[in-house]
């Protein structure tokens, strides 16, 4: 089979990995590292490539670079191999290949993943003492100068001076790289894929007419047959966690009067689905739970000082241009009112991470956070965007004009060629964030690091609702479509406008549909609670009444168990197989000559078969269940 052609996009940085053949050593001592770096310097002098980071390990090495062309990259790797492999084979009296096949490579979306890829390279642990100098880490944090390295423009954006950039990068390195990001980098390397966001990868797939995202291993899994139990299980996990944090459940109405719902500007984008009741009366379908919580706070003064609420239910949203204009979705939301400091934000981040850990999803998720300053500072940034784009409005499409009026930051996220050109000189939100707001955000990041919660600062993350200060999203790259699992932030201004007085509010919502799909992809066995504990099978019609009476006795003795009487007309062997498929741990067979013959009980977990009377059965069940 022909080799897969490598993906190359002009101007994009690449992460390169080369491993030793059969996992053998490629660096035995410091001299090997020095000779390799000399070969590396000669290769970069011959071919047009910029090196941004590197790390040498006993059995592999990583290079983060930007090649001038596809040929320059391939020739650079060939030159390193021809010079260093010859030296290594001569010194250690060996022959043959030193590398394990072709080099692994991954193109990197600069804005979203370059610094993460550089952190992946610089934070790799040194497995041998003689490799202490084989890394670019000390150069990037400003402790030494390495001439072979060139700073990438994403690194240069960290600060205006070298010392400021080094300090920011040092702080960036203190945040642990999440397992989800690390696994994604490794998968992209091994499959020669693009390391980027889903939106960016989709654009490249359209442009290149090929897949650029890594594929998952194995065949597609089939869905579990009873998803109602899955929903109940996940909802119970969330409910138990929220109870431990002393959040109170609130029930929200499905319909609200159209006149009573006075929505603040920017609080919820789009139109709510409306339905007519009784001809002259109209109501709006509930489209998110935050407004319902705010109405509850407004109506009950005892909740206005401090309160922690959560809700669960069906929400509705309008999909313009779709065949089904009104779409329903499941949401679990958490809101806290009356807490102005970052403590409540940290508590909710910890709670979210604990919830994902309870579902065993911590290795498949990624937290993205950002700050846009206070509501006044973000409003000043929006005004600056409107002034910047106003001279070009005669070139704008109708949708762009709507964005400029309502949410001008959306113009910064468009991939249109005209808007992409204008984005280079557009105002940046960091220029409008005050020192106090930045210190607030830095204290939150430091607290997240101490709590052991991996996160990524995404400066391109803008609010879907009218958030201020902190906003965040949890994503999973395992879901190619609809990767958003959770979203939230602080919305003090909107809460204050609706309630009519100063109110501090912070909250989030879990998107249950994508969360369920991710759970089914990664931990399908966790969604299979035992549906049946005991199955009672009668050998003939004459003892059916006795079997039902036995089931009644067992339900009274063990109210926590689910007990099923098999009332089918199947044979005994078929009934036993059916009981095993139902997940029944205990199978009790009532013989034809009961009660003169003893009952038979089979424990599928312990693979034990016993017999006895009714009392013996109860004793055996109690002993097996440790009651």
Domain-embedded: residue 191: yes
Of 57-61, 82-86, 291-295, give the lowest mean pLDDT range: 291-295
Strands across the sheet containing 484-490: 248-249, 307-318, 326-337, 505-511, 484-490, 468-475, 366-371, 456-457
**pLDDT at residue 2, rounded to an integer:** 61
Q: Where are the beta strands (DSSP E) in 37-103?
A: 49-56, 60-67
Reduced to 3 states (helix: H, G, I; strand: E, B; else coil), residue 475 is: strand
Calculate helix-pair angle for 289-299, 492-499, nearest 10 degrees: 50
Q: Is the confidence at residue 221, as pLDDT, over 90?
A: no
Q: How confident is the model at residue 322 (pLDDT cuts 50, 70, 90)?
A: low
**pLDDT at residue 354, rounded to an integer:** 92
Reduced to 3 states (helix: H, G, I; strand: E, B; else coil), residue 418 is: helix
Q: How confident is the model at residue 214 (pLDDT cuts 50, 70, 90)?
A: confident
What span, in angstroms and rounded, lies between the C-alpha atoms of 371 and 363?
Answer: 25
DSSP 8-class letter at 626: T
**pLDDT at residue 236, rounded to an integer:** 86
Rg of the chain over Cα atoms, rounded to whole angstroms, equals 31
Q: Percent of the chain scored above 90 by pLDDT?
A: 14
Domain-embedded: residue 85: yes
Q: Which residues contact 276 (CB under 8 A, 6 or more apart)?
A: 282
Domain-embedded: residue 391: no
Judge whether 605 and 585 are in contact, CB under 8 Å.
Answer: yes
In sequence order, what DSSP letters do the residues of 325-375 get, joined into one string? SEEEEEEEEEEEES--STHHHHHHHHHHHHHHHHTT-TTS-EEEEEE--SH
Instruction: Note whether 235 and 115 are same-domain residues.
Output: no
Nearest to 197, CA basis, from 120, 112, 117, 118: 112
Which of 525, 548, 570 is the endpoint of a domain? 525
Q: Is the confidence at residue 282, as pLDDT, over 70?
A: no
Angle, vertex CA 155, rays to CA 19 and CA 413, nearest 5: 105
**pLDDT at residue 273, rounded to an integer:** 44
Domain-embedded: residue 403: no
Judge whether 349 and 451 are in contact, CB under 8 Å.
Answer: yes
Query: Containing domain of residue 442, as a range?
Result: 227-374+434-525
Instruction: Note whether 450 and 576 are same-domain residues.
Output: no
Which of 208, 236, 255 is the endpoint of a domain? 208
Mean of the pLDDT values across residues 608-619?
A: 80
Instruction: Note whether 510 and 541 are same-domain residues.
Output: no
**pLDDT at residue 177, rounded to an integer:** 82
- CATH code, 545: 3.40.50.800
Q: Which H or E run contains 154?
A: helix 153-156
* Residue keyed to tokens 């719902």: 261
**pLDDT at residue 118, rounded to an integer:** 92
Instruction: Note whether 181 and 99 are same-domain residues.
Output: yes
Judge whether 124 and 33 are in contact, CB under 8 Å.
Answer: no
Q: How confident is the model at residue 320 (pLDDT cuts 50, 70, 90)?
A: low
Instruction: Note whether 239 and 127 are same-domain residues.
Output: no
**pLDDT at residue 296, rounded to an integer:** 79
**pLDDT at residue 157, rounded to an integer:** 86
In sequence order, what DSSP letters do the residues of 556-615 get, joined into one string? HH-TTS-EEEE-S---HHHHHHHHHHTT-SEEEEE-TTTTTSPEEEEETTTTEEEEE-HH
Q: Give the highest mean pLDDT range of 119-123, 250-254, 281-285, 417-421.
A: 119-123
Q: How far is CA 181 from CA 79, 95, 365, in A?
A: 31, 37, 8
Instruction: Note whether 335 and 484 are same-domain residues.
Output: yes
* Residue keyed to tokens 């430091």: 446
**pLDDT at residue 626, rounded to an integer:** 67
Q: Which two tokens stand for residue 26?
A: 């490629």
Name the more confident of 546 and 317.
546
Q: Give the highest mean pLDDT range of 340-354, 394-408, 522-536, 560-574.
A: 340-354
Domain-embedded: residue 438: yes
**pLDDT at residue 355, rounded to an integer:** 92
Q: Is the confidence at residue 270, as pLDDT, over 50?
A: no
Instruction: Note whether 553 and 616 are same-domain residues.
Output: yes
Q: Which residues contact 157 (CB under 8 A, 6 or more apart)?
A: none
Judge whether 61 and 109 are in contact, CB under 8 Å.
Answer: no
Instruction: Note whether 76 and 192 are same-domain residues.
Output: yes
Average pLDDT, the chain: 82
* Residue keyed to tokens 């830095």: 442
What span, in angstroms and rounded, lies between the C-alpha atoms of 157 and 139?
Answer: 17
Neighbours of 42 (CB within 10 A): 13
Domain-embedded: residue 420: no
- CATH code, 310: 3.30.930.10
Mean of the pLDDT values across residues 270-299?
A: 63
Mean of the pLDDT values across residues 150-165?
A: 89
Q: Which residues contact 440 (CB under 8 A, 6 or more apart)?
A: 342, 371, 469
Q: Is the confidence at residue 269, as pLDDT, over 50?
A: no
**pLDDT at residue 410, rounded to an integer:** 84
Q: Is the confidence at residue 234, as pLDDT, over 50?
A: yes
What span, in angstroms and rounded, lies between the C-alpha atoms of 576 and 570?
Answer: 10
SS3 content of the chain, % helix, strand, coil (to 5): 45, 20, 35
**pLDDT tens digits, one per residue of 489-544:** 998 888 888 878 888 889 999 998 888 888 888 876 665 555 677 888 888 777 77
Find out whether the peptide bond into 107 is cis, omega within 30 degrees of 0.
no
Mean of the pLDDT values across residues 297-318?
A: 78
Instruction: Note whether 556 and 446 are same-domain residues.
Output: no
Exposure string of 385-420, with b = 16+ CB inside 10 Å and e = fewer, is: beebbeeeeeebeeebeebbeebbbbbbeeeeeebe
**pLDDT at residue 219, rounded to an integer:** 60
What span, in angstroms and rounded, lies between the C-alpha atoms of 189 and 103?
Answer: 9
**pLDDT tens digits, one per residue of 357-367:** 988 888 888 89
Name the more confident of 483 and 323.
483
Judge whether 327 and 319 are in contact, CB under 8 Å.
Answer: yes
Q: Where are the beta strands (DSSP E) in 135-280?
A: 194-195, 248-249, 255-257, 274-277
* Residue keyed to tokens 């998110």: 288
Instruction: Note whether 151 and 231 are same-domain residues.
Output: no
Instruction: Note whether 182 and 124 are same-domain residues.
Output: yes
Domain-embedded: residue 159: yes
Strands across the sheet containing 60-67: 49-56, 60-67, 14-19, 104-108, 194-195
Instruction: Note whether 320 and 453 are same-domain residues.
Output: yes
pTM of the model: 0.73
**pLDDT at residue 474, rounded to an integer:** 93
**pLDDT at residue 205, rounded to an integer:** 84
Q: How confident is the model at residue 225 (pLDDT cuts 50, 70, 90)?
A: low
**pLDDT at residue 264, rounded to an integer:** 45
Distance of CA 21 to the CA centre of its chain: 34
Domain-embedded: residue 173: yes
Judge whether 298 and 505 are in contact, CB under 8 Å.
Answer: no
Total domain count for the chain? Answer: 3
Which of 508, 525, 542 is the endpoint of a domain? 525
**pLDDT tens digits, one per residue of 570-597:** 787 787 777 777 777 788 888 877 777 8
């Amino acid at each position: 089979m022909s080799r897969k052609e490598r993906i190359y996009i002009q101007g994009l940085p690449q992460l390169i990995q080369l491993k030793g053949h059969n996992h053998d050593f490629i660096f035995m001592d410091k001299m090997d590292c020095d000779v390799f770096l000399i070969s590396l310097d000669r290769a970069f002098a011959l071919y047009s490539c910029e090196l941004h980071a590197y790390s040498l390990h006993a059995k592999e090495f990583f290079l983060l670079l930007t090649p001038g062309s596809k040929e320059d990259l391939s020739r650079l790797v060939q030159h390193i191999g021809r010079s260093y492999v010859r030296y290594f084979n001569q010194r250690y009296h060996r022959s043959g290949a030193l590398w394990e096949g072709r080099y692994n490579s991954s193109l990197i979306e600069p804005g979203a993943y370059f610094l993460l890829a550089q952190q992946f390279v610089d934070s790799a642990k040194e497995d041998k003492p003689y490799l202490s100098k084989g890394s670019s880490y000390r150069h990037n944090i400003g402790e030494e100068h390495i001439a072979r390295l060139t700073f990438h423009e994403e690194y240069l954006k960290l600060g205006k001076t070298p010392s400021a950039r080094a300090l920011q990068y040092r702080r960036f390195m203190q945040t642990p790289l999440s397992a989800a990001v690390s696994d994604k980098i490794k998968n992209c390397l091994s499959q020669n894929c693009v390391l980027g966001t889903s939106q960016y990868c989709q654009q490249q797939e359209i442009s290149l007419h090929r897949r650029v995202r890594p594929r998952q291993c194995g065949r597609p899994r089939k869905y579990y047959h009873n998803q109602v139990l899955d929903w109940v299980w996940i909802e119970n996990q969330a409910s138990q966690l929220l109870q431990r944090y002393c959040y109170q459940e609130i029930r929200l109405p499905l319909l609200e009067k159209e006149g009573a719902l006075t929505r603040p500007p920017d609080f919820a984008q789009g139109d709510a689905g409306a339905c007519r009741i009784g001809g002259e009366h109209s109501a709006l379908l509930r489209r998110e739970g935050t407004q319902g919580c705010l109405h509850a706070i407004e109506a009950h003064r005892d909740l206005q000082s401090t309160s922690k609420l959560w809700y669960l239910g069906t929400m509705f949203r309008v999909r313009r241009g779709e065949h089904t204009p009104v779409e329903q979705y499941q949401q679990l939301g958490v809101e806290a009112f009356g807490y102005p400091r970052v403590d409540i934000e940290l508590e909710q981040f910890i709670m979210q991470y604990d919830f994902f850990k309870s579902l065993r999803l911590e290795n498949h998720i990624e937290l993205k956070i950002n700050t846009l300053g206070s509501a006044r500072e973000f409003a000043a940034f929006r005004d600056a965007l409107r002034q910047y784009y106003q001279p070009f409005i005669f070139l704008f499409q109708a949708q762009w004009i709507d964005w400029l009026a309502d949410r001008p930051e959306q113009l910064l996220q468009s991939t249109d060629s005209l808007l992409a050109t204008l984005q280079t000189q557009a105002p940046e939100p960091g220029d409008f964030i005050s020192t106090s707001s930045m210190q607030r955000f830095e204290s939150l990041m430091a607290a997240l690091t101490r709590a052991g919660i991996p996160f990524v600062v995404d400066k391109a993350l803008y609010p879907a609702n009218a958030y201020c200060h902190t906003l965040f999203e949890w994503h999973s790259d395992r879901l190619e479509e609809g990767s958003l699992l959770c979203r939230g932030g602080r919305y003090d201004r909107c809460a204050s406008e609706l309630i009519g007085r100063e109110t501090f509010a912070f909250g989030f919502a879990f998107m249950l549909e994508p969360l369920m799909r991710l759970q089914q992809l990664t931990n399908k066995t966790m969604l299979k609670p035992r549906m049946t504990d005991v199955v009672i099978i009668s050998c003939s019609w004459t003892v059916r009444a006795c079997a039902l009476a036995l089931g009644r006795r067992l339900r009274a003795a063990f109210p926590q168990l689910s007990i099923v009487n098999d009332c089918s007309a199947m044979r005994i062997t078929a009934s036993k197989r059916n009981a095993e498929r139902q997940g029944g741990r205990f199978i009790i067979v009532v013989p034809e000559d009961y009660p003169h013959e003893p009952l038979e009980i089979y424990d599928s977990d312990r693979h034990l078969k016993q017999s006895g009377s009714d009392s013996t059965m109860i004793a055996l069940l109690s002993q097996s269940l440790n009651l």
